[in-house]
Amino acid sequence: MRFVRAVWKLLVGIKDGLVLIAMLMFFGVLYAALSARPDPISDGVLAMDLDGVLVEQAARPDPFAAALGGGSIMREFELRDLVAVLDEAKSDDRVKAVALDLDGFLGGGQPALSALGEKIREVKAAGKPVIAYATGYTDDRYQLAANASEIWLPSMGLVAVAGPGGNNLYFKGLLDKLGVTANIYRVGTYKSAVEPFMRNDMSPEAKENAQALGDALLETWREDVARARPQATPGLGRMMSDPVAVVQAARGDLAQAALQLKLVDKIGERRAFEARLAELGGTDEDSAHGYKRIKLAAYERAAASPETGPIGVVTIAGEIVDGKAGPGSAGGETIARLIEKGLAEHPLKALVVRVDSPGGSAMASERIRQALLAAKEKKIPVVVSMGSVAASGGYWVATPGDFVFAEPSTVTGSIGVFGVLPSFEGALAKLGVGADGIKTTPLSGEPDLLNGPSPQVNAVIQAGVEQVYAKFLGIVAEARRKSPAEIDRIAQGRVWDGGSARQLGLVDGFGGLDDAVAKAAELAKLAEDERGLTYLEKEDGFADTLIAALTGDSSAGDGSGAPTDTFASLSATPEAMLARIVGDLRSILRGPTIQARCLECPPAAAAARLTRDDRSWLERLLS
């Protein structure tokens, strides 16, 4: 017994010691983060090292992962913040040039890239060079880099524009082998979100819709690049039509091919790129980069100024979910409460709703719509500004708008409803397991996920889906001043580009957030000096401040986010692709049962993180 007690005391002592060490580490990091002072802003080059994704609203990272480094934290750059930085930089005498380092840039939606590119051109017009660098330029990277004064490429780099397209995974064969039945309820010829569970390939209707959307997005991409860099238009045409001939003409030298086609301006390694920045902004021998750098995070903090004014701006970004959710996801209750609280606490005269969402829960979308309708009842004009995606539930919440703006490359529409319930009768049969019981009514124990839903409950759920679709049609018809039959002809779950949506009357005009603010001011009859903005969003608490301090400079351009080789930079990592697949599966199968979601919409960000929950979910599925 003495030996056992001694071992127990030893184990308790080790446990207490480890807890003490962890606490000391945590509070040490906490003290360092909170006591750190922001870097002073001096003359130099504004280093925009965009190692991450461009989003409408950034999600908050896990505080424990941020503090202890236990998880991979992908940086998310908010479009609003980068626009404010460039607006400030173009008139700031301390900023001599801008370095646009895209080596770790993982993309964003076309409208967001176009808006940021316009600000880059304004910096150029103010007489400040913008120098872009990347090992490999893909569609999103090149769309942004095309706005720069100079585009640099290393000698082993390349420009490879692929355009929209690619394959999806279809799980019908796998589900059959596992004995899992996907019970599907849907309305809409083109509502292809459920096709991966009912087919092993893309239906002709879905392929027709996807092809039309892809062609339209490619055309708007070409127009945006041509506007920023007209000299590259012929070369891009040659590369996209016959890449093999282009490479052969350059004798296999991919970088020289890009230079000959005027897609880039300089062939040079990173050291030469940094030497060029030193010419523009001054030499700093104490810096590993060799030039005077103005860090993006420090400049962003200095440029930030809280706005208040009579125009409220509410952001609906990410998946629309029931209840409450943090930034990056649109919790129906959270967004509705922000609108209601904003109207109660601020003297707002107009509302601008910024939507960048593929939808989600129909109930949550309706909760947000009702909050916007309540604002309209108070004679507050509502103007909608669509970002990269405003489809399904994202279009649902846009219907209260007195005027709806979209961009030509906005993905919108997808007016359709579906539901998926998995059942496991086949899996149980394979295992030799039976399931039996009693019923007191036709709906007792339903939906039965062991023996499969009964015909009665199938009929009830399908009726519910059809009812929600009919409501969706009615809401859109009333908002767009059309009949439900007219909307039904352009609905059916079909996804449209912004240009087609305008022609069909689903949106009112082209424009970005600034245009929406101007329209809201016009409808509210506000003078030019009365157009300040009040962002309706949850205020950061202590934990949020701590996380920002811990992660704010994590992407300081040290190369940690750079790809390992040229070709690795051209596509999402297998982990990122797996993350999206697992995330889509999990979000559909977890519900809600009836959803207004557009999974066929292209993602706003080109990469995703595979979370611990995703890994465990995938492991359970495969096992």
**Structure-token match 């390992």, residue found:** 564
pLDDT for the residue 165: 84
Q: Taking the CB of residue 585, how many other CB atoms lie within 10 A of it? A: 20
Q: Which helix (H) or strand (E) holds 18?
A: helix 2-35
Length of the chain counted residue by residue: 623
Cα within 13 Å of Cα(100), Cβ side: 29
Closest CA to 186 of 160, 205, 211, 164: 205
Q: Which helix (H) or strand (E) holds 388?
A: strand 382-391
pLDDT for the residue 229: 96
Beta bridge partners of 412: 390, 496
**Contact by Cβ (8 Å): 120, 146:** no
**Which regions in the chain score pLDDT beneath 70?**
1-13, 15-39, 61-73, 190-191, 539-593, 599-600, 602-623
**Contact by Cβ (8 Å): 332, 321:** yes
pLDDT for the residue 30: 53
**Contact by Cβ (8 Å): 532, 310:** yes
Q: Catalytic site residue 525?
A: no
In angstroms, rounded to a whole number, what is the distance separating the alpha carbons of residues 394 and 620?
31
Q: Catalytic site residue 341?
A: no
> Per-residue DSSP letters for 239-276?
HHH-HHHHHHHTTT-HHHHHHHTTS-SEE--HHHHHHH
Cα within 13 Å of Cα(201), Cβ side: 4
Give the relative orientation of helices 362-377 and 455-480 as an angle to the nearest 10 degrees. 30
423-447 b/e with 16+ CB inside 10 Å = b?
bbbbbeeeeeeeeeeeeeeeeebbb
pLDDT for the residue 58: 87
Q: What is the 3-state secondary structure (H, E, C) of 177-213?
A: HHCCEEEEEEECCCCHHHHHHHCCCCCHHHHHHHHHH
| pTM score of the predicted model | 0.85
Give the relative orientation of helices 110-125 and 204-228 as an angle to the nearest 10 degrees. 0
pLDDT for the residue 3: 58
Six token digits for residue 321:
């979910």
Q: Which residue in 392, 423, 555, 569 is the catalytic one?
A: 392
In angstroms, rounded to a whole number, what is the distance separating the alpha carbons of residues 604 and 225?
19
In angstroms, rounded to a whole number, what is the distance separating the alpha carbons of residues 450 and 442?
16
pLDDT for the residue 314: 96
**Structure-token match 């130099």, residue found:** 44
Side by side, which strands form the sheet with 95-101? Answer: 266-267, 150-153, 130-133, 95-101, 44-49, 293-295
Q: Which residue in 191, 292, 349, 482 is the catalytic one?
A: 191
pLDDT for the residue 112: 94
pLDDT for the residue 612: 44
**Contact by Cβ (8 Å): 98, 123:** yes
In angstroms, rounded to a whole number, what is the distance separating the alpha carbons of residues 220 and 154?
28
Bridge pairing between strands 495-497 and 411-413: antiparallel
**Structure-token match 């049609």, residue found:** 473
In angstroms, rounded to a whole number, what is the distance separating the alpha carbons of residues 314 and 382?
11
Q: What is the 3-state secondary structure (H, E, C) of 125-161?
A: HCCCCEEEECCEECHHHHHHHCCCCEEEECCCCEECC
Q: Would you give the DSSP letter of residue 505? A: T
**Contact by Cβ (8 Å): 365, 320:** yes
In angstroms, rounded to a whole number, what is the distance separating the alpha carbons of residues 440 and 451?
17
